[in-house]
Structure 1
Amino acid sequence: MSIADPVAVREHLLAAAAAGHPLTYSELLARLGHPFTRPRMRALCKTLAAVDDAAQADGEPELAVLVVRQSDGLPGQGWWTGSWEKHRFTGDWTGPDARLLIDRLQRQAFRYWQERAPG
């Protein structure tokens, strides 16, 4: 699957949201059939932004927040710089304040998609 395919990326994010767990960049790339490299991760981040733009247009919670670094379970720099205007977060991109914001946004996505999951 193509890293640049927002439909494919969204499907994986919806499955993660319905299951109630985030994905690391490596996990998402592997599910798309690609090994982790920094250039692939950067390409994926562009697609994640497109997925979130579409979600926002449809009144849905953001999904890119579900993609996190393996090291600390937080989104990478691209997410923080791309979403600053929306969240007005001015703290460090690591640490307890960042964790509080990410946990809140992830819970919103989990709750929203778990309520809509077939079953």
Structure 2
Amino acid sequence: MSIADPAAVREHLLAAAAAGHPLTYSELLGRLGHAFTRPKMRALCVTLAAIDEAAEAAGEPELAVLVVRQSDGLPGQGWWTGSWERHRFTGEWTGPEARRLIERLQGEAYRYWQERRGG
């Protein structure tokens, strides 16, 4: 599957949301048939941004927040810089304050999609 195919990537994110768990960048790339590399991760982030733009337009919770680093379970720098305006988060991108924001946003996605997909 193509990293640049929003429908394919979105389907994996919807399944993760319905199951109530995030995916690491490596896991998502693997599900799409790719090994983790930084260029592939950056390409995936472009697709994730497009998915979130469409979700916002449809009144759905964001999904890119479900894709996290293996090291700390938080989204990477691209998510933080791309989401600053929406969330007005000015704290550090790691640590308890960041974790609270991410857990809240992930919880919104989990609840929304579990209700719709029977997770």
Shared fold, TM over 0.5: yes
| Counterpart in the other structure of 2:117 | 117
- Which residue is equivalent to 2:76? 76
Cα separation, 1, equivalents of 2:56 and 2:69: 23
CA RMSD of aligned residues (A): 0.8
1:80 positional shift: 0.1
Please name the residue that 1:21 is paired with.
21
Q: Equivalents in 2 of 1:77, 1:105: separation in Å?
A: 16
Counterpart AA for 2:6: P
Instruction: Indicate the residue corresponding to 1:52 in structure 2.
Output: 52
Query: Structure 2 regions of 5+ residues with no counterpart?
Result: none
The residue number in structure 1 matching 2:31 is 31
Question: Mind listing any 5+ residue stretches in structure 1 that lack a counterpart?
Answer: none
For 2:110, give the aligned amino acid.
F
1:59 Cα offset (Å): 0.2
Runs of 4+ with >4 A deviation: none
| TM-score normalised by L of structure 2 | 0.99
Map Cα deviations across residues 10-44 of structure 1 (whole Å, 9 max, x no partner).
00000000000000000000000000000000000
> How far apart, CA to CA, are the structure 2 residues paired with 1:118 and 1:98?
29
> Which residue in the other structure is 1:67 paired with?
67
Of all paired residues, the percent bearing the same amino acid is: 84
Distance 2:40 2:106 in 1: 23
CA drift at 1:94: 0.2
SS in 1 for 2:94: coil
- Aligned residue identity for 1:11: E
Match of 1:105 in 2: 105
